[in-house]
Amino acid sequence: MQTNLRGKDLISTQDWSKEELDTLFDVAFDLKRKRALNQPHAYLRDKVLAMLFFYSSTRTRASFESGMAQLGGHAQFIESRTTQISHGDTAKEIGEILGRYTDGLAIRKSDWGEEGQKYLREVAEASRVPVLNMQCDYYHPFQILADMMTIMEKKGDPRGLTINVSYAYASSYLKPMSVPQSLILLMTRYGMNVRLTRPPEFKLMPDIVEQAKENAKKSRGSFEILDDFDAGMKGADVVYAKSWGCMLTTEDNDEAFEIGKKYTDWITDEKRMATASDGAIYMHCLPADRNIEVTDGVIDGEQSVVYDEAENRLHAQKAAMALTMA
């Protein structure tokens, strides 16, 4: 267990060592147990977390606010359009100033390209308090930490398990690549056999794919890329099929939607889930396009763990805040 995480940023799970991540999971499970037993755990009494949102959220805002309250502190909700950011406040000024007012900064900024990731790094460089990534264009670390917690709870030791991180069609909007990219990075750290299943137009960032390959080598897991939806499902212990945009193929939204329509049959249904391993679980970060990305029968069925997964956002985030802000 690591005891020197106070003040450490969490922008990507790649920034933390395996031992540091293990510490976070240990604390997260302990905090989950304490909440179940109604045991007080106000480790952040009188501490303040600034939460800066550049776009909307359901689970992220609710879980961070609840987590800070349960830890004895306070979370400030700051919507970017109500600030002076549009009138000139820079990333450096946000880091310098909010870092002096608060004990931690959490930021949600996802714009395709480098803007969101670059912004978080610039704030972190200027801030005297830890910066937590609530989602950017590259990474969604807290979602993926919650995902790993859920896999550990439902399937035990993740080493040797096969996870299918798959594209699925959605018609609602062009969803970020941050979830699948973060999934392949973290799951390969823990010795899983990771399948990235996607159509040729829906590639992930090459440098992140290379990092996942290197992670798999170090952990003695495996990493492979497939382009057949059904092949990715076959024999998987964990099915994590969700939509993301084809940003590396085109930056034109209309063209991207047309490309997506070629893959409307990439839907997780009962027949597909039946080809996964015995006891396989279905995961999704939510919200899902029901009966487009996944059928009601799957997402509401016995193999689905999406609500336990969503709950674990609370516990993983509390662990990170307690370790970095105490």
pLDDT tens for each residue of 216-263: 999 999 999 999 999 999 999 999 999 999 999 998 999 999 999 999
Whether 65 has a pLDDT exceeding 70, the answer reads yes
Beta strand ranges found along the chain (DSSP E): 48-53, 74-79, 104-109, 131-136, 162-167, 193-197, 222-226, 238-242, 281-283
Closest-CA residue to 318 (of 13, 52, 42): 42
Q: Residues of the chain with pLDDT > 70: what percent? A: 99
What pLDDT does 113 receive?
A: 63
What pLDDT does 112 receive?
A: 65
8 A C-beta contact, residue 266 and residue 232: no
Residue ranges per structural domain of the chain: 13-140+313-325, 143-309
Chain segment 175-206, per-residue pLDDT in tens: 999 999 999 999 999 999 999 999 999 999 99
What pLDDT does 321 receive?
A: 98
Whole-number Å distance between alpha carbons of 168 and 67: 31
Does the model's pTM come out above 0.85?
A: yes
Superfamily of domain 13-140+313-325: Aspartate/ornithine carbamoyltransferase (3.40.50.1370)
Contacts of 99 (CB under 8 A, 6+ apart): 105, 126, 127, 128, 129
Number of Cβ within a 10 Å radius of residue 311 = 18
Chain segment 85-136, per-residue pLDDT in tens: 888 999 999 999 999 999 999 999 986 666 889 999 999 999 999 999 999 9
Number of Cβ within a 10 Å radius of residue 164 = 26
Average pLDDT of the residues in 23-45: 98
Looking at every residue in the chain, the average pLDDT score rounds to: 96
What pLDDT does 300 receive?
A: 98
| Tokens standing for residue 296 | 């009601």
Whole-number Å distance between alpha carbons of 89 and 91: 7
Closest-CA residue to 277 (of 306, 240, 234, 241): 234
Query: What are the C-alpha distances in Å from 311 to residues 72, 146, 156, 266?
Result: 19, 8, 18, 27
Cα 313 to chain centroid distance, Å, stands at 9
Whether 78 has a pLDDT exceeding 80, the answer reads yes
3-state secondary structure of 55: coil
Whole-number Å distance between alpha carbons of 202 and 112: 14
Whole-number Å distance between alpha carbons of 16 and 287: 28
Whole-number Å distance between alpha carbons of 185 and 206: 12
What pLDDT does 122 receive?
A: 97
Closest-CA residue to 261 (of 203, 201, 204, 205): 201
Identical topology for domains 13-140+313-325 and 143-309 = yes
8 A C-beta contact, residue 106 and residue 132: yes
CA end-to-end distance (rounded Å), the chain: 16
| Tokens standing for residue 238 | 């964990």
Give exposure, 285-306, as e/b (b: 16+ Cβ within 10 Å): beebbeebbbbeebbeeebbbb
Whole-number Å distance between alpha carbons of 63 and 241: 23
Fold of 143-309: Rossmann fold (3.40.50)
Whether 284 has a pLDDT exceeding 70, the answer reads yes
Q: Residues of the chain with pLDDT > 90: what percent? A: 93
